[in-house]
A and B are shown apart, each in its own frame.
Chain A
Amino acid sequence: MQHYTMNLTLKVWRQKNASDKGHFETYPVKNISSEMSFLEMIDVLNEQLIKEGKEPIAFDHDCREGICGMCSMYINGRPHGPWQHNTTCQLHMRAYQDGDTIVVEPWRANAFPVVKDLMVDRSAFDRIIQAGGYISVNTGNAVDANSTPVEKEKADEAFAAAACIGCGACVAACKNSSAMLFVGAKVSHLALLPQGAPERKNRAMNMVAQMDREGFGACTNTGACEAVCPKGISIENIARLNREYMMAGLTEDK
């Protein structure tokens, strides 16, 4: 790999807290190595801001390995930036050229209020899981693991859906701020496994109801969620969610 350094202009969303209106600020950053990650570039800027006596930019990040789902920047109009199947923390600066201007915003959705600068509150996702995103099995209840064979294909599909990291990029990309990909992934993960079968009806109904209560929008099948999903969660999971929801509604015993 050829390495190079670059000078960039950053336009970053600054917002003191949830009640502040917020605004963009422009920062020049110099001598950025193409080998840095995007967040390391922000680190450089923050060190510079602190030295100048200014407040650094607050942003969520933790593992920096693309798996915890904490980082959440909306970069030049796309969640997690320009690369496919990627999180912001794994975006590297070789994606940019000297002289580029980069606009960085937080996730924008009513259900994800801004906490500060680029940090948002995604606790709505936890509450959706609380509504049914689990299998009710207390510790100690389990039978021997190999007593429940699972067709490899189904297991692989369940795994692909379970790869969701709960980052919220799907919501941020959607013009309706819909959480259908997130909910679809969880409902699919559990519905595809025999262990998840007993609760599949209630799960679909309750998780969708909670999703609506949180203020996420409806799905209009534009597929923006799938296009930006760092884990490549397929939009087929939304179709499966719709089927699960329909079946549950049609066969409800009441």
Chain B
Amino acid sequence: MLDSKIPSGPLDQKWTSYKGHCKLVNPANKRKLEVIVVGTGLAGASAAASLGELGYQVKAFCFQDSPRRAHSIAAQGGINAAKNYQNDGDSVYRLFYDTIKGGDYRSREANVHRLAEVSVNIIDQCVAQGVPFAREYGGLLNNRSFGGTQVKRTFYAAGQTGQQLLIGAYQALERQVALGKVTMYTRHEMLDVVVIDGKARGIICRNLVTGELERHFGHAVVLCTGGYGNVFYLSTNAMGSNVTAAWKAHKKGAHFANPCFTQIHPTCIPVSGDHQSKLTLMSESLRNDGRIWVPAKAGDKRAPNDIPEEERDYFLERRYPAFGNLVPRDVASRAAKERCDAGFGVGTTGQAVYLDFKYNLINKYGKAEANKQGLQNPDTETLVRLGKEVVKEEYGNLFDMYEKITGENPYEVPMRIYPAVHYTMGGLWVDYELMTSVKGLYALGEANFSDHGANRLGASALMQGLADGYFVIPYTIGNYLADEIATKPIATDHPAFLEAERNAAERIQKLMNIKGTQTVESFHKRLGKIMWEECGMARSQKGLTKAIEEIRQLKKEFWSDVRIPGDINEMNPELDKAGRVADFIELGELMCIDALDRNESCGGHFREESQTEDGEALRDDQQFAYVAAWAYQSDSNWQLNKEPLTFEIAKPSQRSYK
């Protein structure tokens, strides 16, 4: 039975009451307790730093060459917080409500309310660390708006917010390394969780430089290993982002929740050819100032600037007048796909729509600047020039990035964009304390499932990663470790450690012994194609059933014909990748099974069988208001556990952005 351990009491008192009553560990005992943190993105770096500051002995692991490389760094647009600095009606309740509604009523109220509460502390903490957020001329913090909301609550640092927040957390982490409270292991990959008497007590990892396996003990293990978007091969994730740590935890007893909830982001640079290795996001914040359109006539091949205003279809503004270009991501993505499938797409592949800045460049920024400078009746050229300067400050790095990739100048020509896999709302099931279904094993940030339901709102991933790491785990882990103060460190020659290490070694050996003919990359691409076609923006019973069959076939083929060059006891990136792809294949199967089970449309999960007459998603609260938590039984065999979702405050309604 799943116990989410949600504290009793009114929603807005739960976290306060929890903090007031949870067990504490005294400073002398904290020094004796060891905590393993895997992953050093926003969640991992902030958790490792905060736990080190509290006095725990922390070991932190990352597969990159430095903790500062984690993919949180690539987040562009911003971070939400209910500061209400703009006096536009924001509050903790509004942020909570928007997040629940944006997640299409598939997340837990208590977790989300806590997230909204601590959001304000995150901004304070980051500013104190020296994170250079954008400011107004008066020296105070600036905000921008983001999709799915009607207030300006997003803090940002040009288009590099993730970078600045991660560097803040990284610096806090390195400070603890210098103080001897955190030991950092870079170029290490976690290959298993060690469970002793039902509790997580350590990990097995591989030193990626020497190929050696290592055993590490911890009184608790905290996984902050990010999402699994790379199961689709093409995504906005980094090349190294993978599900391996979470998947190993899953196979050791941690339930995997809502695996099919993946977010397809509407504004990414379209695929240019078969060589494509990854996709690049253009921040959602661009939808504040860019208008999305396609030609009103199908198959119109004219250059975008030659298509007159009246022959353009601003389809988001047309379909969703209340939110227009700022509808949530899943809605915007599907609308773009619908237009392209109907033959209105642009670019060489027809799989793209325009994101056009010209209107706001002139009317919003140009005119405001002209006013500020006291220019009377400026001509369009002047307005464009003035507007460009402002836009450059807001999004300059994104425009440059677009130009480098496509060779086109987005100040002159509208961007071409298309949806791409971006984020995974599903992840390891955790309770209110962020503990998985294995005692002493925690999952934070994108690696868990808890806060975003079936769809994440923009600028909320950074918020959740830092909330979990800075402000949640420091309290909740104490509540567990308080009962562990008598537990002496377990020697890593304990049979459970040796067995876990042996299993990891055998698997590596097995992979190397296949000596087949096909590359790891080619398998990954094929998996990605199956997932994108059948478990992507639209899913159906027929397609998913077919996909499950295909993935099982692919798995057989992988384990009999993959070719991995090089040796085990050396730096071998192909071997690293092979292990990750093998896990992605297994996860892909579970994602399709979960998508098949959920015969409703909600958030990023669109089942073709469940839609309204005009093609909008149709949720089914009667049957599907639950978290699907899958327990691993054996190969290709999972058991579904349902955690019912109840909504006391934010009463479910059919989402409408019209």
Q: Are A139 and B275 in contact (CB under 8 A)?
A: no
A121 nearest CB neighbor, chain B only:
B65
Q: Are B127 and A139 in contact (CB under 8 A)?
A: no
Query: B404 is contacted by which of A83, A141, A143 (Cβ under 8 Å)?
Result: A83
Q: CB within 8 Å of A: which of B171-209?
A: 171-172, 174-175, 177-178, 184, 186, 209
Question: How many contacting A-B pairs (Cβ < 8 A)?
Answer: 220
- Decide: A33 near B49, CB < 8 A? Known: A63-B238, A68-B73, A149-B139: no
A106 proximal to B (CB < 8 A): no
Q: Are B519 and A159 in contact (CB under 8 A)?
A: no
CA distance A1 to B406 in the complex (A): 8
Q: CB within 8 Å of B: which of A119-142?
A: 119, 121-123, 125-126, 129-131, 133-142
A62 nearest CB neighbor, chain B only:
B238
CA distance A136 to B129 in the complex (A): 7
CA distance A36 to B271 in the complex (A): 11
A229 proximal to B (CB < 8 A): no
Query: A50 is contacted by which of B157, B162, B406, B563 (Cβ under 8 Å)?
Result: B563
B163, B401, B471: residue with the most chain A Cβ atoms closer than 10 Å = B163
CA distance A154 to B125 in the complex (A): 20
CA distance A119 to B278 in the complex (A): 21
Q: Count how many chain A residues have C-beta atoms less than 8 Å from C-beta atoms of the other chain.
A: 81
A79 proximal to B (CB < 8 A): no
A134 to chain B: which residues have CB within 8 Å?
129, 171-172, 174-175
Q: Are A139 and B125 in contact (CB under 8 A)?
A: yes
A144-178 vs B: 1/0 string, CB under 8 Å?
11101111100110110011011000000000000
Which of A86-94, A234-242, A243-251 lies at the interface with chain B? A86-94
B450 proximal to A (CB < 8 A): no
Q: Are A196 and B130 in contact (CB under 8 A)?
A: yes
Query: A152 is contacted by which of B135, B563, B573 (Cβ under 8 Å)?
Result: B135
Query: B184 is contacted by which of A122, A126, A155 (Cβ under 8 Å)?
Result: A126
Q: Are B50 and A139 in contact (CB under 8 A)?
A: yes
- CB of A195, distance to nearest CB on chain B (Å): 5
A184 proximal to B (CB < 8 A): no
B487-531 vs A: 1/0 string, CB under 8 Å?
000000000000000000000000000000001011000000000
Q: Are A54 and B139 in contact (CB under 8 A)?
A: no
B240 proximal to A (CB < 8 A): yes
A56 to chain B: which residues have CB within 8 Å?
565, 573-574
Q: Are B132 and A92 in contact (CB under 8 A)?
A: no
A40 to chain B: which residues have CB within 8 Å?
275-277
A51 proximal to B (CB < 8 A): yes
Query: B132 is contacted by which of A68, A94, A162 (Cβ under 8 Å)?
Result: A162
A25 proximal to B (CB < 8 A): no
Q: Are A17 and B571 in contact (CB under 8 A)?
A: yes
A92 to chain B: which residues have CB within 8 Å?
404-405, 407
Q: Are B71 and A68 in contact (CB under 8 A)?
A: yes
B27 proximal to A (CB < 8 A): no
A14 to chain B: which residues have CB within 8 Å?
none
A159 nearest CB neighbor, chain B only:
B132
Q: Are A149 and B140 in contact (CB under 8 A)?
A: yes
B316 proximal to A (CB < 8 A): no
B69 proximal to A (CB < 8 A): yes
- CB of A56, distance to nearest CB on chain B (Å): 6
A16, A63, A137, A189: residue with the most chain B Cβ atoms closer than 10 Å = A63
B124 proximal to A (CB < 8 A): yes
Size band of the interface chain B makes with A:
35 or more
- CB of A171, distance to nearest CB on chain B (Å): 14
- Decide: A162 near B139, CB < 8 A? Known: A35-B273, A121-B65: no
CA distance A118 to B394 in the complex (A): 35
CA distance A145 to B139 in the complex (A): 11
B615 proximal to A (CB < 8 A): no
A204 proximal to B (CB < 8 A): no
B85 proximal to A (CB < 8 A): yes
B574 to chain A: which residues have CB within 8 Å?
50, 56
- CB of A151, distance to nearest CB on chain B (Å): 6
B8 to chain A: which residues have CB within 8 Å?
none
A70 proximal to B (CB < 8 A): yes
A69 to chain B: which residues have CB within 8 Å?
68-69
A16, A33, A51, A67: residue with the most chain B Cβ atoms closer than 10 Å = A67
- CB of A134, distance to nearest CB on chain B (Å): 4
- CB of B493, distance to nearest CB on chain A (Å): 29
B57 proximal to A (CB < 8 A): no
Q: CB within 8 Å of A: which of B228-265?
A: 238-240
Q: Are A65 and B174 in contact (CB under 8 A)?
A: no
B160 proximal to A (CB < 8 A): yes
Query: B177 is contacted by which of A62, A130, A195 (Cβ under 8 Å)?
Result: A130
A108 proximal to B (CB < 8 A): no
B138 proximal to A (CB < 8 A): yes
- Decide: A143 near B128, CB < 8 A? Known: A58-B571, A150-B139: yes
Q: Are A139 and B46 in contact (CB under 8 A)?
A: yes
A64 to chain B: which residues have CB within 8 Å?
238-239, 277-278, 280
CA distance A136 to B174 in the complex (A): 11
Q: CB within 8 Å of A: which of B265-293?
A: 272-273, 275-278, 280-281
B454-494 vs A: 1/0 string, CB under 8 Å?
00000000000000001100100000000000000000000
Q: CB within 8 Å of A: which of B106-141?
A: 121, 123-130, 132-141
- CB of A6, distance to nearest CB on chain B (Å): 13
Q: Are B280 and A65 in contact (CB under 8 A)?
A: yes
Q: Are B566 and A55 in contact (CB under 8 A)?
A: yes
- CB of B155, distance to nearest CB on chain A (Å): 8
Q: CB within 8 Å of A: which of B572-612?
A: 573-574
B317 proximal to A (CB < 8 A): no
A135 to chain B: which residues have CB within 8 Å?
128-130, 171
- Decide: A61 near B239, CB < 8 A? Known: A125-B66, A130-B175: yes
Q: Are A139 and B470 in contact (CB under 8 A)?
A: yes
A196 to chain B: which residues have CB within 8 Å?
130
Q: Are A126 and B174 in contact (CB under 8 A)?
A: yes
Q: Are A133 and B171 in contact (CB under 8 A)?
A: yes
B280 to chain A: which residues have CB within 8 Å?
64-65
Q: Are A129 and B566 in contact (CB under 8 A)?
A: no
- Decide: A158 near B401, CB < 8 A? Known: A63-B71, A65-B74: no
CA distance A137 to B124 in the complex (A): 11
B64 proximal to A (CB < 8 A): yes
A85 proximal to B (CB < 8 A): yes
Q: Are B401 and A138 in contact (CB under 8 A)?
A: no
A193 to chain B: which residues have CB within 8 Å?
130, 132
B313 proximal to A (CB < 8 A): no
**Closest A-B pairs by Cβ, 8 of them:** A149-B139, A134-B171, A142-B128, A142-B124, A159-B132, A130-B178, A1-B407, A145-B127
Which residues of A pack against B, CB within 8 Å? 1, 16-17, 33, 35-37, 39-40, 43-44, 47, 49-51, 53-56, 58, 60-70, 83, 85-86, 90-92, 94, 115-116, 119, 121-123, 125-126, 129-131, 133-146, 148-152, 155-156, 158-159, 162-163, 165-166, 189-190, 193, 195-196
Give 21 pairs: A residue, B residue, CB < 8 Å, sorted on A: A33-B273, A33-B275, A36-B275, A50-B574, A60-B65, A62-B64, A62-B239, A64-B239, A67-B160, A67-B162, A70-B69, A130-B177, A134-B175, A139-B53, A139-B172, A145-B126, A149-B135, A149-B139, A155-B139, A162-B132, A163-B163
6 extra interface residue pairs, beta carbon distance < 8 Å, beyond A142-B121, A145-B123 = A33-B273, A62-B240, A116-B571, A134-B175, A139-B172, A145-B141
